[in-house]
Structure 1
Amino acid sequence: MMETKIWSADELPAAVRAIKRGALVAFPTETVYGLGADAFNEQAVGKVYAAKGRPSDNPLIVHIADANQIDRFAQRNAWADALIEAFWPGPLTMILPVKTGVLSSVVTGGLDTVAIRMPDNDLTRSLIREADTPIVGPSANTSGRPSPTIAQHVYHDLHGKISGILDGGSTRIGVESTVIDLSTDQPTVLRPGKITPEDLEAVLKTSVEAGQHAVKADEVPKAPGMKYRHYAPDKDVFMVEREDWTQAIIWAQSQLSPVGLMLTNDLILEHQLAGMDFVWSLGPDADSAAAKLFAGLRYFDGQADVQTILVARMPETSRNAAYNNRLNKAAGSHFVTELFDD
């Protein structure tokens, strides 16, 4: 089995050497940890799919350190330039037309577009610059599992499968970037993130469509997270609306096995759960909840006696959309009310 090393920031040269020789390196961003490989090395990119167990028709996001790197493999437009100025580096991925014959179809999923972002993490941008190549970077987890927000999450899923992990501490945002498609006549958000459609409209001075269509079985998705099950632990996850928590707690207390409860601070106080076992605080608001969601799912997934996890759902607003999107996928669209009839 391959030895997977965890490198500190001052060991960056080792990570650079690994990327240059075609190996896989996990790296930190402000959203989640990514699994990096040289975007121009088709064999290395293929290893990413193998390590993650990722479907081959799920395109990859290419990470860059400087905006001028885009011109090596994609075609910019005025919308892209405006968003680069406003949001990069940051949690925004743009889909642009790909230049013919530059990137392998393994990167693009065979599409005529490519997803690109510049992460807001100095260590990772240094990795990209010193390796002198853009790097692909899907989340550094086993495909379908909750995304990793600390280096230890990556090690748990991928040790023995990748060369190393560049440890940048805990990620700040905790859910993946907003994805906007700029390759058509209508800018469209394909995956919600911290940057909302309203934020994008304010810069683009045009309407931005917010919504995903259902991706058919034989259709290649334009962006990650559109087609396959994502973010799910091995345990059963159910969403809980605010008005259902009283009954949900009664149900949990009636079970023979402990049930994991993930709630915001106000709900913990309201239901007098502070300090109790099997309670995971999502913090005070949607931003903190997004940052803590995947870590909480992974925590309870590691508790052998916990079989069910109940997680607070947020009110439907654009600011809460990223959190609710990831939670809905983790729960497979199931709500706790389904359990009350059992």
Structure 2
Amino acid sequence: MQTSSSPLDQALALLKAGELVGIPTETVYGLAADASQPDAVAKIFAMKGRPADHPVIVHIAGRDQLSDWAQNIPDAAWKLADAFWPGSLTLILQRKAHVPDAVTGGQDTVGLRAPAHPLTHELLQRFGGGLAAPSANQFGHVSPTTAQHVFNEFGEKLGLILDGGPCQVGVESTIVGLTSEHPTLLRPGGVPAEAIEAVLGVKLIHHEKPSTANLRVSGLLDSHYAPRTPLLVGPLGALENEATRRLETGERIALLHRSHMLKAVHGVTAHAMPMMAEPYARDLYATLRQFDNGQFDVLLLETPPQEANWLAVNDRVKRAASGWLG
């Protein structure tokens, strides 16, 4: 009797045939294609509406594949791979000549990561190569953290989505540049900068904009991760005043807060966000998607704390916001 193939088998067959698959990682869900097939990678850009010069991260099974994609690999890269892979850390390294321009955006660098989600880790081990896999959403929109989010984004246009449950980190990977003399933090994310600095024994240079490091990397445009409903960010008191003002014109308002509400604003849908940085990061995108449902005219989000462990959250909020109050 012939048995039906598993979702993992189906994913492998589709990827080898140059098709796209939605995959879970511990950070966000990715839209994956065989990174060695430029035509397959082009399908990612077409489905996402992503600019052609915007590079994508190549996902690999682990450190043993680093030299398949990168050359002149510094000792720092091996140290970080040993410390954090599989995990939420992307390394920017000098590309090998065979790496397609479709992956690198025409640059001489490539971003590499070994994701920690067990389902995708097994997929990569069986696949043997690398998967280009930016977030599985329309370019610039809120990243997906569940398989349902991916389906909501693409529907039947995407033939297979591997359901690995909700993402446990919830924001994208930390990106560290290792192509110059000094390691550079290009994007804060799932691995704290302080943990990376502890492994390397040096401070990271921080770059607010990728252009200052002469690199284009994933997820660092000024407007990114954004809900389609306008998102205004500010201290709670300013948000409550803004909500009161907007209610007078009949607007429908959702207020996402951490602090205790100073006053109840009748007619406003209030939602309490987590108090700690890790659960806040895990819930951020799902919450934005929950309220970005056409039922509200504006979303008001209380400014997160400015402590170091909130760096990745504040980076994503800054890029998602359409305006600031207070």
Bigger shift: residues 37-46 or 234-243: 234-243
Give yes or no for the alignment of 1:328 onto 2:318.
yes
Cα deviation for residue 277 of structure 1 reads 6.7
Letter paired with 1:143: F
Q: What one-letter code is carried by the residue in structure 2 that aligns with 1:296? A: T
For residues 296 and 220 of structure 1, what CA distance do their matches in structure 2 show? 34
Contact preservation (8 Å) 1:146, 1:231: yes
Q: CA deviation at 1:228?
A: 5.5
Alignment partner, residue 224 of structure 2: 230
Normalization by structure 2: what TM-score?
0.92
Is 1:58–1:220's contact at 8 Å kept on the other side of the alignment? no
Find the aligned partners of 1:211 and 1:132 in 2 and give their Cα distance: 33
CA–CA distance in 2 between the matches of 1:182 and 1:176?
19
Unpaired runs of at least 5, structure 1:
1-8, 338-342
Does the 8 Å CA contact 2:87/2:116 hold for their aligned counterparts?
Answer: yes
Unaligned runs of 5+ in 2: none
Displacement after TM superposition at 1:243 (Å): 4.8
**Counterpart residue identity of residue 96, structure 2:** K
Secondary structure of 2:156's aligned partner:
coil
Question: Could you say if the C-alpha distance between residues 251 and 293 of structure 1 is closer, same or farther in structure 2, counting changes exceeding 3 Å?
Answer: farther
- SS in structure 1 of the partner of residue 141 of structure 2: coil
Give the match for residue 196 of structure 1.
Answer: 192
CA distance, structure 2, for counterparts of residue 271 and residue 80 of structure 1: 51
Deviations 1:183-231 (A, max 9, x none): 1111111111132222211110112112223639xx9843112236211
Equivalence for 1:6: none
Conserved? CA contact 1:63–1:136, under 8 Å: yes
Q: Is the 8 A contact 1:197 1:209 kept in 2?
A: no
* Residues 158/322 of structure 1: CA separation in 2 closer, same or farther (3 Å cut): same
Match of 1:267 among 252, 260, 264: 260
Note the alpha carbon deviations across 1:70-93, whole angstroms, 9 max, x for none: 111112221011111111111111
Q: For each residue in 1:142-180, what CA deviation from the matched residue of structure 2 results, as whole angstroms up to 9, or x when unmatched?
A: 001000011111111112332211001110111101100
1:307 is displaced (CA, Å) by 1.0
User: Aligned pair 1:292/2:283, yes or no?
Assistant: yes
Identity of counterpart residues, as a percentage? Answer: 36
Give me the TM-score of the superposition, normalised by structure 1. Answer: 0.88
1:99 aligns to 2:96 (yes or no): yes
C-alpha distance in 1, partners of 2:214/2:54?
7
Deviates more, 1:291-300 or 1:321-330: 291-300
2:108 is equivalent to residue 115 of structure 1: no
In structure 2, the residue corresponding to 1:225 is in which secondary structure? coil
**Structure 1 segment 1-342 matched on structure 2, within 5 A:** 10-75=6-71, 76-100=73-97, 102-213=98-209, 215=211, 221-227=215-221, 229-264=223-258, 266-267=259-260, 271=263, 278-302=269-293, 304-332=294-322, 334-337=323-326
CA RMSD of aligned residues (A): 2.2
The Cα of 1:254 is off from its aligned counterpart by 3.6
Residue 262 of structure 1, CA deviation: 1.3
The answer to whether the 8 Å contact 2:222/2:319 transfers is no
Contact preservation (8 Å) 2:28, 2:145 = yes
Look up the match of 1:3. Answer: none
Does the 8 A contact of 2:59 with 2:115 survive in 1?
yes
SS in 1 for 2:123: helix
Is the contact made by 1:280 and 1:296 (CA closer than 8 Å) also made in structure 2? Answer: no
Separation in 2, partners of 1:215, 1:182: 15
Counterparts of 1:35 and 1:178, CA distance in 2: 18
CA distance in 1, matches of 2:296, 2:31: 29
Shift of 1:111: 0.7
Distance 1:277 1:105 in 2: 48
Give the counterpart letter for 2:150 in structure 1: V
SS of match in other structure, 2:58? strand
Q: Distance in 2 between matches of 1:63 and 1:195?
A: 16
